[in-house]
Amino acid sequence: MRVTRPCTTWPGAALRLGETVSAKVLAIREGGKRVALGLKQLRQSPWAEVALEPGRVVSGTVKRVLAFGAFIAVLPGVEGLVHNSQADLRGQRDLRAMLQPGEQVSVRVLELDGERERLSLSLRHEDGRPIERDEAESVQHFAQLSSTPPPRGSRLELRRLLDQALRANDDPQTRAG
C-alpha cells in the first residue's frame, strides 16, 4: 500500500491497526495475492485550489536539495522547484552548499501550471537581486498594513498636528533667534 499524506514517511505513521479507511484500488497483482491501494487518489489535489500569481514573493520550507536545484514547499502538498539558474550561487556549483532541508526561505513565483502540478520558483527578483530569506513576511506585513483603513479621525489629528507645527514655526516668540 502506498500512503501519501503530508509529512508522512511511512504507512505506520498515518494508519492504525484496525482503522477503517476508504481507498482506491490501484492494482491487483500475483493473482490477487497483492493489492495496491491509494488514499490520496480519493482526495482533491492540493494543486486544484492554488492561486499564486507570477511575481509574488512567498515563504516556503526547503524540502530537498539536489544537484540541479531545490524543492520548496510553499503550501501544504504543493512544492515548487528553484533551479540553480534562478539563484545567486555566489561561486558555488549548486544550491546544496547554500540551503538545508527544513530551512525557511522567501521565493518568487515564476510560473504555475496546475494541470501538470508544476511550480517554478526563483531566489531572485526580476532585476536579478537576491531575495532576502524573510522578505515574504515583510511583503505580507506591508500588504496587511496597506489594506487596513486608518483609524477614524486620524487624518484630522494629523492635520491638527501639522497646523500646530506650522503655526509654531511662524510665531516669532517660538523661533530661536
102 CB contacts (<8 Å, ≥6 apart)?
61, 62
144/34: higher pLDDT: 34
Are residues 21 and 77 both part of a single domain? no
Looking at residue 140, its amino acid is Q
Domain of residue 36: give its range.
Answer: 11-42
Are residues 18 and 77 both part of a single domain? no
pLDDT band at 90 (very low <50, low <70, confident <90, very high): confident
Are residues 16 and 64 both part of a single domain? no
Mean pLDDT for 49-71 is 90
| Domain membership flag for residue 162 | no
Q: pTM for the whole thing? A: 0.60
pLDDT band at 118 (very low <50, low <70, confident <90, very high): very high
| Domain membership flag for residue 174 | no
Mean pLDDT for 78-103 is 88
CA-derived radius of gyration, the chain: 26
Are residues 62 and 34 both part of a single domain? no
Query: For the domain that residue 116 is a member of, what is the CATH number?
Result: 2.40.50.140
Buried b (16+ CB within 10 A) or exposed e, 24-35: eeeeeeeeeeee
- State pLDDT tens for residues 146-161: 455 555 555 566 666 6
